[in-house]
Amino acid sequence: MKRKQLLSLIAIIILISVYGYEHFLNSKEEGVLIENGKTPKATTNQYFLPTSTTNQIVHHQNYSLSYSEKHEQAEWVAYELKSSHLSKTNHKRPYFQIDKTVKTKAAHWRNYKKSGYDKGHLCPAGDRKFSKSAHDETFLTSNISPQEHQFNAGVWNRLEQKVRYWAQKNDGIFVITGGVLENNLKSIGSESVSVPEQFYKVILDNTNGRIKMLAFLMPHEDSNLPLYKFVVSVDQIEALTGIDFFKDLEDSLENKLESSSSYKNWSF
């Protein structure tokens, strides 16, 4: 074998070895991240976590989610929002990152490029401004869903601001958010990220040990209607999604609260 051919062969072998080793390290790192994501964190309120229809719950440091591989997004994201979490600090907006803790692989942010849809946060960055790491953690692709800009910046933004008002007023609430994921939805990108036709938000307030709930179901379009017009019962959202939101509550209390669509104990 000529010297030039031998050197080329050696170079190829080295490249393959380096690539294989990097792939091994990346796979090992992803395995550690996936295992770490299975463990509830100190900041995760396990008691109020909903059921998962996909059997893929991921616990990040400041929120938890249930990922739907079929729809390439979370079916729900859940977190506690305390008054101490609210901050006016403006952190620099980071780039979106693929969530490596999702075992079935989270969708790439490129699916949204030129799609006409916003990367709509489910756990808003504005709810996690108390530290840069908490803020940046919301920029994982498992925490976004395709949203029309007018909806995202309009009625949905109004609801997010109202949730912060309640968190401040009641000194802490538990929030669960997601799109209604069903069959035959429009999709975007090469990974077919579903575009929900409706979005929901469920809120539980446990101030002074007296539990109350409030649920919203919104068509995926902007609206000038007052927010209370979108109030529904938790039961209605459970029927649409197949998710059991507060399974660990005492049954009679759960049934009473989840069947109600009253908002008289909430300030609008």
Residues designated as active site: 121
| Cα(237)–Cα(200) distance, integer angstroms | 7
3-state secondary structure of 99: coil
3-state secondary structure of 114: coil
Extract the runs of DSSP E, i.e. beta strands, from 197-240. Answer: 198-205, 212-219, 231-232
Q: Which residues of 216-246 are buried (b: 16+ CB within 10 A; e: fewer)?
A: bbbebebbeeebeebbbbbbebbeebebebb
Identify the H or E element spanning 184.
none
Angle, vertex CA 79, rays to CA 74 and CA 85, nearest 5: 135
| Cα(161)–Cα(159) distance, integer angstroms | 5
Residues 17/19/22/23 CA torsion (nearest 10 deg):
-110
CB 86 within 8 A of CB 172: no
Closest by CA position to 60, among listed 85, 86, 83, 33: 33
| Cα(117)–Cα(105) distance, integer angstroms | 21
Token readout for 267 is: 């300030």
CB 204 within 8 A of CB 234: no
